[in-house]
């Protein structure tokens, strides 16, 4: 009964005209950036963080950012199907069979299958968020400093295990993020740390400047040097209604994809991407006609699209209940909460119930908006694909600069954005994924605070992390993940998966 009361509160919050407007803006903007290859939800949300400060209302801000994230999953499938260039990395698998369907004149059916699978998965996984978030919050409220420290260690280790490319590079990114998080004034002693004598660093590095630079500006620079051409299938998209055979072929893959995505979405380091590839692998193995995959198989579109959208929704569970980001977008969402003066973690559900349940309810509303609006607007999205990058990106960079400056009205922040944009670009050229860096930067101060608090409470006894059962279990999980991912067979399989993804 309490669940229905909470959902009623959530829908009453999310269905106000003001919040409905921001939900609509979020899902449309998310679809737009999902359609345009090379921008992505992470970079867009990073660039829009300054706007959330100006909006003022944290509920509206977070509803909009959430809409951008799961809206981008919808939009990514459009470019994957029409131009074989996924707008989102989680839609890379969709391109394999979706583009082949488009080449055979079935672009409309492929887009409809992707939209239906995404809607079903988004609806079911949001229901799972509503069911599992409250009990997880109740458990998390019992956590002490030791348990929180160990939980964050699990999150960081998982982000290393699931990061693209070299494990050593991923570890280096996490360490760099942790070090950047230490910049500022020590909260216990008042001593400046790593500030280099710069007054503006006394309160730590500006989260918005780091996020916009490392993800937004760096992504723009990377795309400007790319010589990729976009050959859009401009033939009229027709036949949006799937046939009866299509419905039979996509029903089971959608169910399996939803289950896989819901489970893997909560994993730190990109669960939605992992879910899409896992779903495709499962569908190919259970299919009676595996030779059809890669040639326009309906299951090859329905399963992965369901999985990546379910994963995008369930990634909100650890963020809302524990204050632990499952991916860079959730780290940015936590940053948006901090900007609004909200302390992320289990207390959000008890102290800000309208925010907590309003976000969950807005996901249902947003998914409904997407299924109603996206298919009729496909013609518009196709036309937007013809906008040249040299026109698009200067406008975005100017928008970034104005937004970052508006937060503190400080020119120094613009220098910081430029610096971290250069750093982010260098990291990309070195094939270092920036996602673990951002997770380390966000979790670093919280990790340190809980470490020091646990040591103070235990009077300097480090065994407190091993004598408390939950803390010891979490540390054992972290150690187990690290050991497993370092096993030669696992490392080889991991490398094969990421090479396949990049291809």
Count CA atoms closer than 13 A to 79's CA, side-chain side. 30
Other beta carbons within 10 Å of 432: 22
Q: Give the pLDDT score at 235.
A: 47
The phi, psi pair for 187, rounded to 5°, reads -70, -15
Q: Give the pLDDT score at 13.
A: 93
Q: Give the pLDDT score at 142.
A: 80
Q: CA-based angle 135:330:60, to the nearest 5?
A: 85
Q: Give the pLDDT score at 494.
A: 53
Residue 184, classed as helix, strand or coil, is strand
> What's the whole-number mean pLDDT along residues 173-196?
86
The phi, psi pair for 375, rounded to 5°, reads -65, -45
**How buried is residue 462: exposed, middle or buried, by Cβ count under 10 Å (0-12/13-18/19+)?**
exposed
Other beta carbons within 10 Å of 136: 17
Q: Give the pLDDT score at 159.
A: 78
Band (75; pLDDT cuts 50, 70, 90): confident
Q: CA-based angle 115:305:117, to the nearest 5?
A: 40
Band (11; pLDDT cuts 50, 70, 90): very high
Q: Do the Cβ atoms of 356 and 349 come closer than 8 Å?
A: yes
Torsion of CA 205, 209, 213, 215, to 10 degrees: 90
Residue 185, classed as helix, strand or coil, is strand
Round to whole Å and give the CA distance between 325 and 309: 17
Tokens encoding 132: 């599992």
pLDDT digits (tens, 9 = 90+) for 16-54: 999 999 999 999 988 888 777 666 777 788 878 878 777
pLDDT digits (tens, 9 = 90+) for 325-374: 877 888 888 888 888 888 888 888 888 889 999 999 999 999 889 888 77
In whole angstroms, how far apart are CA 433 and each of 230, 272, 451, 482? 25, 16, 27, 18
Round to whole Å and give the CA distance between 441 and 457: 25
Among 123-137, 166-180, 389-403, which is the least confidently predicted range? 389-403
Q: Give the pLDDT score at 501.
A: 47
pLDDT at 440 over 80: yes
> What's the whole-number mean pLDDT along residues 81-100?
75
Provide the residue ranges of all domains of the chain, joining segments of one domain with +. 2-229+242-502
Rg (CA), the chain: 22
Q: Average per-residue pLDDT in the chain?
A: 81
Residue 193, classed as helix, strand or coil, is strand
Spatial CA neighbour of 359 closest among 9, 72, 108? 9
The phi, psi pair for 193, rounded to 5°, reads -130, 125
Q: Do the Cβ atoms of 395 and 95 come closer than 8 Å?
A: no
> What's the whole-number mean pLDDT along residues 104-130?
86
């Amino acid at each position: 009964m309490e669940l229905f009361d909470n959902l009623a509160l959530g829908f009453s919050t999310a269905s106000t005209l003001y919040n409905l407007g921001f939900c609509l803006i979020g899902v449309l903007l998310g679809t737009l950036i999902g359609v345009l290859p090379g921008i992505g939800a992470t970079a867009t949300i990073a660039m829009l963080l300054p706007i959330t400060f100006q909006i003022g209302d944290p509920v509206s801000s977070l509803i909009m950012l959430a809409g951008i994230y799961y809206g981008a999953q919808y939009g990514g499938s459009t470019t994957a199907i029409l131009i074989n260039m996924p707008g989102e990395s989680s839609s890379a698998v969709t391109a394999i069979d979706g583009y082949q369907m488009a080449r055979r004149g079935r672009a409309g059916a492929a887009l409809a299958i992707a939209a239906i699978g995404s809607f079903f998965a988004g609806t079911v996984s949001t229901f799972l968020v509503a069911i599992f978030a409250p009990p997880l919050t109740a458990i998390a409220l019992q956590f002490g400093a030791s348990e929180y420290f160990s939980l964050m260690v699990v999150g960081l280790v998982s982000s290393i295990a699931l990061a693209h490319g070299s494990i050593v590079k991923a570890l280096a990114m996490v360490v760099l993020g942790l070090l950047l998080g230490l910049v500022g004034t020590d909260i216990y002693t008042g001593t400046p740390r790593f500030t280099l004598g710069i007054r503006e660093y006394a309160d730590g590095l500006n989260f918005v400047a780091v996020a916009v630079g490392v993800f937004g500006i760096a992504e723009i620079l990377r795309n400007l040097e790319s010589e990729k051409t976009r050959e859009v299938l401009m033939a009229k998209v027709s036949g949006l209604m799937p046939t009866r055979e299509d419905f039979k072929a996509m029903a089971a893959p959608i169910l399996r994809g939803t289950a896989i995505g819901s489970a893997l979405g909560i994993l730190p380091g990109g669960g939605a991407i992992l879910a899409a590839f896992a779903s495709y692998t499962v569908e190919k193995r259970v299919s009676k006609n595996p030779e059809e995959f890669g040639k326009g198989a309906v299951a090859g579109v329905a399963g992965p699209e369901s999985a990546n959208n379910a994963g995008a929704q369930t990634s909100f569970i650890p963020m809302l209940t524990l204050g632990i980001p499952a991916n860079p977008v959730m780290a940015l969402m936590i940053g948006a909460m901090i900007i609004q003066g909200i302390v992320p973690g289990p207390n959000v559900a008890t102290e800000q119930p309208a925010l907590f349940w309003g976000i969950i309810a807005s996901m249902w509303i947003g998914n409904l908006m997407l299924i109603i609006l996206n298919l009729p607007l496909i013609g518009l999205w196709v036309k937007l694909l013809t906008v040249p990058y040299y026109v698009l990106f200067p406008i975005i960079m100017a928008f970034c600069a104005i937004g970052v400056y508006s937060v503190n009205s400080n020119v120094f922040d613009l220098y910081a954005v430029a610096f971290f944009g250069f750093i982010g670009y260098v990291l990309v050229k070195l094939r270092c994924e920036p996602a673990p860096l951002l997770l380390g930067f966000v979790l670093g101060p919280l990790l340190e605070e809980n470490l020091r608090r646990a040591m103070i409470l235990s009077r300097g006894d480090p065994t407190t992390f091993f004598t408390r059962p939950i803390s010891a279990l979490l540390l054992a999980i972290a150690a187990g993940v690290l050991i497993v991912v370092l096993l030669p067979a696992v490392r080889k399989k991991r490398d094969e998966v990421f090479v396949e993804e990049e291809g």
